[in-house]
Amino acid sequence: MLLALTVQNVSKSFGSKKAVDNLSFEISQPGVFGLLGTNGAGKTTTIRMILGIIPKDEGVIHWDGKEITSKTVRYGYMPEERGIYPKVKILEQLTYFGQLRGMSRHDAAKAAKYWLERLGVAEYQNTLAEKLSKGNQQKIQLIAAIIHDPELIFLDEPFSGLDPINTDVFKNIIEELISQNKIIVMSSHQMFTIEQYCRDLVILNKGCTVLKGNLRAIKGGYGHTNLSLGCSPEAFEKALPVAERLGIKLIEKRANAYEFKINGDESAHAFLRELVDSGICPDRFEIREPSLHEIFVEKVGAAE
Amino acid sequence: MRDIFTVFSFTLRDNVRKKSFIIITTIVLVLILGACALPSLLQGGSESEPGTTPGGQPGSGNVPVEKAYPCYVIDTDNTIPGVINALSAAFPHIEFKEGSSNQVDEYKKIVEESSAIIMEIAKGDILPELKFTVKSIFTSAPTNEIKEVIRQYLVSGAMTKAGVDEDLQKMAMSDIQYSTIPLKMDATGYTAGILITMIMFFAVYFYGYGVAMSVASEKTSRVMETLIVSAKPSRILLGKCIAMGALGLIQLSLFILAGVLGYNLLIPENFTISGMPIEFPSFSVSTALLLLVYFLLGYSLYAMINSVCGATVSRSEDLQTAMMPSVLISLTAFYAAYFAMLMPDSGSAKKILTYIPFTSPFIMPSRLLNETVGAVDILISVLLLIAAIVLVSLLSMKFYQASVLHYGQRFKLKDFLKNR
């Protein structure tokens, strides 16, 4: 049976400022749980309260029905503020972090070498951390969070500052962790990335919950609201009056596609028929639910 | 316990490998061995210089003596006839010249540019009065010695005139020889007390600064957040303090070993400084153990305070300012103990300082080496020190935990109280 993380009516204030207000959620299945929000929404404070780094003012945080501590669950944490010892060799500090999380020196060094190899930075194991690039330092930070094979993993903005190649490396690792039935709580601004992995999520704004639940159900609730049309600019000039006539509204012009807001599948199907009848053959015609980015902007914008 | 050991071994390894530690240790070791070798080098050099007394002053043997500087004697009224001859015989390295009161300004110019002296003699009520003119207040002219020679010359002349027997004159002009025999022939216990107190202060300041620096650097490099989810802050703090204390002990042991080796191998036998032999006091095992206990407890107390100072800053540059309270406490405690050691009849002060946890590590080494300290006094002092360490540690850990994630402005006591 998989264990569950329960956060119930948790609040935290700093002086007169409410950082987190009556937050509740539960994670009971492996996978990625998204903790989303604008800057200062309370994401990092929530993670810090769960990990016991800062005390909560109110509420309950449980793992398997018991108060969450390092004794009740083995957790890993990659903080938003990256921090490694600049003047210490990579293998040595990873071994140290592993030992602090209960591993023997030998096991910690072995695990560190495995992950260094896996993330393509094995050649730097005897290099001082300060000599590594920012992306490679971030990989070391990720290894420090997962070296001890934790059940519950917190990744605070794991992709910020990464180039596309390293982003893919991180994604592969996250997929591997998901396949190992780990529970991952991920905070990020990169909605597209979160959308790829997230099963459940909470969106926070100024400490308050503006949306929470299963991402597929949330999107399903919105229905098919968007149409993405890929065609040449000339074809678009001809297609636009047709769309307007059918009540389909252009919302965004992109380099290779045009985004429309539709009222339902029927109007989109009618639009496609008219386009084909007019001799316009689109490269792409996709009817879809709103993106997480759009949902986020809508919800947070409404709350503002 | 395991976490404490992990933090301890990592911190110790990290600091022992630091270039600054290796360079400072090497330099001090070379200085200690160099200082031990210095007496041999100095003794070897002085043997080859002929015609000088051990003190380096020109001697009065058959070797012609070069006159070092002139002394212009102005005795307008011939108050002391024959004074120049008497002084020339007593001070062969000074050229006594008969001067004129009309030329005082010229003599002054010479005095301003050299070590020359002007001595003006005037009539007094019973004995003549002397007025010396020298270059500055820092000039080390032998004015007192000159005055004494003149006094003896006058008294001797007067006694001869009065027909006093020559033996009686000699007796009147001689000083009584005396000597003081202390039962304890050396001052090594006293010197060692001061030395150990100074080492204690050095350890508290230098290694305590190391603890603060270590904590501050983890905060500034943002490792702290990763660390405190891995181990309890109190364990991290303890591990660090013990590691820096062990580092201090390792370094001090190396210095002491170098000193002992240098003393046995390089310092010549019977070597003295101002007549005092250089000797190490012999401790009993219990005294040595108590010295170690006070060293460890004193270091622990100040290390705990310093670690909090390190945790309050977000930038290493602010560390000096943050450490001011700790430095002030340790400086005050050190000087209180130091002056109590120097002052005679400071028994009550020493006793009070023995009971105050901040001062007892500084005063006790001296007391243990020079006095018989009662077992009750030692017990009370050690218990109070341990109680203070526990209290300061508890406060420190809470303060440390509250301040480690505080970035930006320096974390202050009011922030701590507000967050409680």
B180, part of any domain: no
User: Is A303 a domain residue?
Assistant: no
Query: Is B106 in the same domain as B247?
Result: no
Residue B84 lies in a domain: yes
Q: Are residues B219 and B316 in the same domain?
A: yes
Q: Is B14 on the interface with A (CB under 8 A)?
A: yes
Whether B189 shows a pLDDT value over 70: the answer reads no
User: Do B241 and B167 share a structural domain?
Assistant: no
Q: Are B279 and B376 in contact (CB under 8 A)?
A: no
* CA dihedral of residues B374, B380, B382, B383 (deg, nearest 10): 160
Residue B207 has pLDDT above 60, yes or no: yes
DSSP B277-332: E--PPPPPHHHHHHHHHHHHHHHHHHHHHHHHHHHT-SSGGGHHHHTHHHHHHHHH
Within this chain, do residues A88 and A172 fall inside the same structural domain, yes or no?
A: yes
Residues A195 and A278 reside in one and the same domain: no
- Same domain for A275 and A171: no
Residue B396 domain-assigned? yes
CA dihedral A282, A284, A287, A290 (to 10 degrees): -130
Share above pLDDT 70 across residues of chain B, in percent, rounded to a whole number: 83
CB contact under 8 A, B226 and A144: yes
Please check whether residue B16 touches A, CB under 8 A. no
CA dist B213 and B203 (Å) reads 15
List CB contacts (< 8 A) between A86 and chain B.
221
One domain for residues B253 and B123: no
Please check whether residue B36 lies inside any domain of the structure.
no
Q: What is residue B54's predicted lDDT score, i.e. its pLDDT?
A: 38
Of A159-168, B39-48, B106-115, the least confident: B39-48
Q: What percent of chain B has pLDDT over 90?
A: 16
Kindly state whether residues B225 and B302 are assigned to the same domain. yes
**The token pair that represents A158 in the structure block:** 């794991």
Q: Position A102: which residue type?
A: G
Same domain, B350 and B315: yes
Determine how β-strand A75-78 pairs with β-strand B272-273. unpaired
Q: Which residue has the higher pLDDT, B196 or A121?
A: A121
Which residues of B fall within a CB distance of 8 Å from A141?
226
At residue B404, does pLDDT exceed 90? no
Domain termination residue (choose one: A220, A239, A273)? A220
What are the chain A neighbours of B225 within 8 Å (beta carbons)?
Answer: 53, 77, 79, 81, 83
- Report yes or no for ipTM above 0.90: no
Looking at the structure, do residues A16 and A163 belong to the same domain, yes or no? yes
Beta bridge partners of B70: B95
User: Chain A within 8 Å of B267 (Cβ-Cβ)?
Assistant: no
At A126 the pLDDT is 92
Contact of B227 with chain A, judged by CB distance below 8 Å, is answered with yes
Band (pLDDT 50/70/90 cuts) for residue B409 is low
- The predicted-structure confidence for B319-362, as pLDDT tens digits, reads as follows 888 888 888 998 999 999 888 887 766 678 888 898 999 999 88
The verdict on B166 touching A (C-beta cutoff 8 Å) is no
Chain B neighbors of A77, CB-CB under 8 A: 225-226, 229
Do residue B355 and residue B226 come from a single domain? yes
Q: CA of B387, closest CA in chain A: separation in Å?
A: 28
CA dihedral A251, A252, A253, A256 (to 10 degrees): -110
Q: Are residues A199 and A256 in the same domain?
A: no
* pLDDT at residue B414, as a whole number: 64
Domain with A267 in it: what CATH number?
A: 3.30.70.1150
**Is A126 part of a structural domain of the chain?**
yes
Same domain, B211 and B245: yes
Q: Is residue B199 part of a domain?
A: yes
Residues 89-118 of A with CB under 8 A from B: 96-97, 99-102
> B414 or B420: whose pLDDT is higher?
B414
A206 near A40, Cβ under 8 Å? yes
| Average model confidence (pLDDT) across chain B | 81
CB contact under 8 A, B14 and A70: no
Residues B307 and B389 grouped into a single domain: yes
Of the partner residues B6, B218, B228, the one whose CB lies closest to the CB of residue A53? B228
Together in a domain, B111 and B84: yes
Same domain, A234 and A147: no
Does residue B64 form part of some domain? no
pLDDT of the residue at A114: 94
Quick check: B374 pLDDT over 90? Answer: no
Q: Which residue of A has its CA nearest to B18?
A: A87
Residue A38 shares a structural domain with residue A106:
yes
Residue A186 lies in a domain: yes
Q: Does residue A298 fall inside a structural domain?
A: no
The answer for residues whose C-beta is within 8 angstroms of residue B78's C-beta and 6 or more apart is none
In a domain, B415, yes or no: yes
Reported as a single tens digit per residue, the pLDDT across B225-252 is 888 888 888 888 888 888 888 888 888 8
Residue in A15, A87, A100 nearest the CB of B6: A100
Residue A302 located in a structural domain:
no
Of B368, B230, B379, B399, which Cα lies nearest the Cα of B304? B399
What is the per-residue pLDDT for B137? 80
Residue B238 touches chain A, beta carbons under 8 Å: no
**Are A206 and A194 within one domain?**
yes
Number of structural domains chain B divides into: 2
Q: Do A83 and B225 touch (CB under 8 A)?
A: yes
Query: Residue A205 in contact with residue A303, Cβ under 8 Å?
Result: yes
**Count of the separate structural domains present in chain A:** 2
The predicted-structure confidence for B240-291, as pLDDT tens digits, reads as follows 888 888 888 888 888 888 888 888 887 777 776 666 666 666 667 888 888 8
Same domain, A117 and A10: yes
Domain that holds residue A253: 224-288
Examine the domain organization and report whether A35 and A138 are in the same domain: yes
Please list the ranges in chain A whose pLDDT falls under 50.
none
> Do B195 and B115 share a domain, yes or no?
no
> Within this chain, do residues B209 and B256 fall inside the same structural domain, yes or no?
yes
State the pLDDT at residue B50: 42
Residue A108 sits in the same domain as residue A201:
yes
CATH number at residue A32: 3.40.50.300
Strands A198-205 vs A31-37: parallel, antiparallel or unpaired: parallel
Contact A238, A230 (CB under 8 A): no
Within this chain, do residues A194 and A104 fall inside the same structural domain, yes or no? Answer: yes
Which range of residues forms the domain containing residue B25?
2-31+187-267+276-419
